Amino acid sequence: MSATGLKGRLLVALPVLIDPNFDRTVVYLLEHGNEGALGLVLNRPSPLALAEPLPRWSLLAADPEVIFVGGPVASSSAIGLGERGEGTVEVVDLEEAPDAFGQPVDRVRVFAGHAGWTSGQLENEIDAGAWVVVDTEPGDVMTDDPEGLWTDVLRRQRGALAALANFPLDATLN
């Protein structure tokens, strides 16, 4: 696996991953290199409306218009992602006004906290079968159905990965 080849791709937590912070999560990787990796959980909306802490960004909020729980690291900080056109996603500076950018973003999503891995940690977790790496498709980052994203991403894969989309929440109840 390339040390820098995962940026912009999705990590999908497999059922063997027992960490409650990542149960059935889909993580968008913002950075991945020799120093480690940083990503945002795409499918954990919080009940906090984006308009409460960031009213000037709320007009561009992707539906649902809430703050997302981006991960367990630095939960008091926020990272914003802006989308332009058909799925071009980039980090936006939430300290600036939305119209401060040369080319305005069409939609924004804000995440409290992020997921982080030290050097080699993510690769070890992937090798252990905790995560599968898949390509990002337009609409994944700003999905209007975050609760269904894990199932949707798995369903579009081939073979056994697609079958995991139907994995029960509690396998002991089968």
Structural domains of the chain sorted by starting position, each given as residue range(s) with its CATH number in brackets: 10-173 (3.40.1740.10)
- Listed in sequence order, the DSSP H helices in the chain are 55-58, 121-127, 149-155, 160-164
The encoded tokens of residue 69 equal 């729980």
pLDDT(11) > 50: yes
Q: Which secondary structure element, helix H or strand E, spans residue 39, and what is its range? A: strand 36-41
The pLDDT tens digits of the residues spanning 103-139 come to 788 999 999 999 999 999 999 999 999 999 999 999 9
Whether 66 and 49 have beta carbons less than 8 Å apart is answered as: yes
pTM of the model: 0.91
The pLDDT tens digits of the residues spanning 132-165 come to 999 999 999 999 999 999 999 999 999 888 888 8
